[in-house]
Amino acid sequence: MDPPEIRKPSVRIVTNGSNALPNRNNTGTAKRKKVRLQPGHSALDWSHKVVTDGAKGLLITGLDTLVQDSEFQRLNAGTVMNQVAHRIPTYKIRPLMAINSKILKNHQDYLSKHDFWAVYKGKVYCLSYYLDFHPGGIEIIIDHATRDPPDIRGAFDRYHRWVSAEKLLETCLVGKYVED
């Protein structure tokens, strides 16, 4: 018996010649583009860093300048300042520290990336250490986090709604974002 005839699909697949995926795929999320991470920067390495350094509050940069910032002192008088002075990890401080756009801008050193904070769902996170672990690269986060308004929630959801940022950045929490 002759083998069944194999028919070519009638749908023509059109590419732009660079193997790029279309701008939006059928799940409604945006084009995916992974970067090559440095050795020691896998998701597993990040989980380890969170429970070691993060738990001790060591994943937060810029605290020395923060406590001297008069705008920060104005917004966070009393019990919060006390906890910061006692070096309580910021993710444990209650009520959360209040950060406005003026304070945030002093911690968005996107050229050296040594002190980089971003707003996600109304909370301020320190991404200085996480940036090198981000599978989508550093620039895309910096680009969105330095826009006005600064909340990266929309962009985040367009690329990976399924990722739990709150969990990944649990110990990178600086405080809550407040309007000026």
Binding site for ligand HEM (CB under 6 A): 32-34, 134-136, 140-141, 144, 152, 155-156, 159-160, 163, 165, 168-169
To the nearest whole angstrom, how small is the minimum distance from the Cβ of residue 4 to ligand HEM? 37
Burial profile 90-116: b = 16 or more Cβ within 10 angstroms, e = fewer = bbebeebbbbbeebbebbbebeebebb
* Residue 91 contacts residue 58 (beta carbons within 8 Å): no
Nearer to ligand HEM, 57 or 135 (CB): 135
Position of minimal CB gap to ligand HEM: 136
Nearest to 145 by CA among 166, 115, 170, 168: 115
Nearer to ligand HEM, 55 or 168 (CB): 168
Nearer to ligand HEM, 20 or 77 (CB): 20
Residue 120 CA to residue 31 CA, distance in Å, equals 21
Through-space distance between the first and last CA atoms of the chain, rounded to whole angstroms = 79
Which residue carries 């910021």 as its tokens? 90
Which residue carries 């989508």 as its tokens? 136
Nearest to 82 by CA among 70, 69, 97: 97
Nearer to ligand HEM, 95 or 154 (CB): 154
To the nearest whole angstrom, how small is the minimum distance from the Cβ of residue 109 to ligand HEM? 17
To the nearest whole angstrom, how small is the minimum distance from the Cβ of residue 174 to ligand HEM? 13
Residue 174 CA to residue 172 CA, distance in Å, equals 6
To the nearest whole angstrom, how small is the minimum distance from the Cβ of residue 155 to ligand HEM? 4
To the nearest whole angstrom, how small is the minimum distance from the Cβ of residue 5 to ligand HEM? 38
Nearer to ligand HEM, 80 or 169 (CB): 169
